Amino acid sequence: MDMKMVSRIAHGTVLAAVFAGGCSDDGGTGAGTQNVDTTAQTTDTGGTTQSPGPTSQPTGASDGTQSGGQTNTTSEPDPTAGPTTTPPTSTTTTATATTTVDTTTTNTTASSTTDDETTGGAAGVVRFVVLGDVGEGNEDQYQVADAIIAVCEQRGCDWAMLTGDNFYDSGVEGVDDPQWQEKFELPYMGITFPIYAVLGNHDYGGNGIGVDFDTSKSDYQVEYTQHSELWRMPDKYYSWKQAHAEFWGLDTNQVMTDPFNGSSDDQQNWLDQTVAASTATWKIAFGHHPYLSNGDHGNAGAYEDLEGIPLPFVAGESVKEFMEESVCGKIDVYICGHDHTMQWLQAACGTEFIVAGAGSKANTIEGDNPFHFQIAEMEGFTWVELNDNSFTGVIYDKNGNELYSRTFSK
């Protein structure tokens, strides 16, 4: 009997207990505790902090060779014109680093861009922001949104990605639910580019269990695409292409709760086939649940510290299998939420892993996976640029201060 069958049998025995217990998803706020691993194989000295707001371009650093056959390099933003908005003229400056970094291979290079009209989408350039677990409608969500607007005006963005848990605590009741205004349209009303979203466990309902008696909760978020100028969720899982990159939005809650929200076999077959057929330079996937995380939920297969306990539904064993079979070594970068922190973990199984789940609230760091950067109890987002064969990620806090920057190349 394979693991999926074992998982499905176990689900039936524990679902009632899980419903009774609900799902705790508290998120505190604080000044933020950040770490840059001094033993990691690569780190970046571009972890500068500007205050107030984003007044300079981030810097990249030489960072060594990754397990996925990728080499970190310094890079400069592409100055060519793009197809959407026109940000103001910007000039790069550097500030004193405020983080502890590995001094063995670091090298800081400041880059300068003048009259940069690129927002991504030009030949070989794509730019976007990613954040998750946003669905509170609180002050922190508004602050993060304002910081995104400022950074994207300066650096350029084609779109944003939401990594799930778009509406706490139990998703929406329909396309006319007031939460659409309170927790999405109003916080992001200043954003002028599309926002691509995927589903999280809270979006499926059940107070975060990810299974609800109203089985249409996830469908409402797909349907809302027809009612909004910003919101994009063409299906529960989907893909699109731009320039030299291809993107896959995954429904990891379906994987997590299989078979209660339907079998995830079709999704996995679709992912395997489309990734295998892709000729894109960059293959980027985003979903809700992490494969690796130092947040309080932890790694897939051991969520909630339940490794070794026969509750594969809760522990995320199906997510672990899905990732190892269809993401590891096939997708270049996987970005997720679920844990309300910002992390850039060291590459594993041939793939880079970024956690961007602090879009409206933030929690603690508890795990010990090797990492490049992580910060607890601070809300924020990640800005990404794909420039030819280089990937640059910059982590910002909710005030628009740059916390960390890293560039690596294929």
pLDDT at 40: 38
pLDDT at 288: 98
pLDDT at 122: 52
Identify which has the larger pLDDT, 202 or 27: 202
Tens digit of each residue's pLDDT (9 = 90 or more) over 97-128: 223 223 222 222 222 232 333 344 456 899 99
Q: Is the pLDDT of residue 400 over 80?
A: yes
What's the rounded Cα separation, in Å, for the pair 292 and 354?
Answer: 9
Instruction: Output the pTM of the full model.
Output: 0.77
Q: What rounded mean pLDDT belongs to the chain?
A: 78
Least confident of 2-6, 10-14, 59-63, 380-384: 59-63
A 10 A CB-CB count for 161 gives 26
pLDDT at 308: 59
pLDDT at 14: 40
Q: Helices 3-21 and 317-326 sit at what angle, rounded to 10 degrees?
A: 140
Q: Is the pLDDT of residue 41 over 90?
A: no
Q: Is the pLDDT of residue 73 over 50?
A: no
Mean pLDDT of 368-386: 97
Mean pLDDT of 273-281: 98
Tens digit of each residue's pLDDT (9 = 90 or more) over 143-162: 999 999 999 999 999 999 99
pLDDT at 310: 57
Tens digit of each residue's pLDDT (9 = 90 or more) over 246-258: 999 999 999 999 9
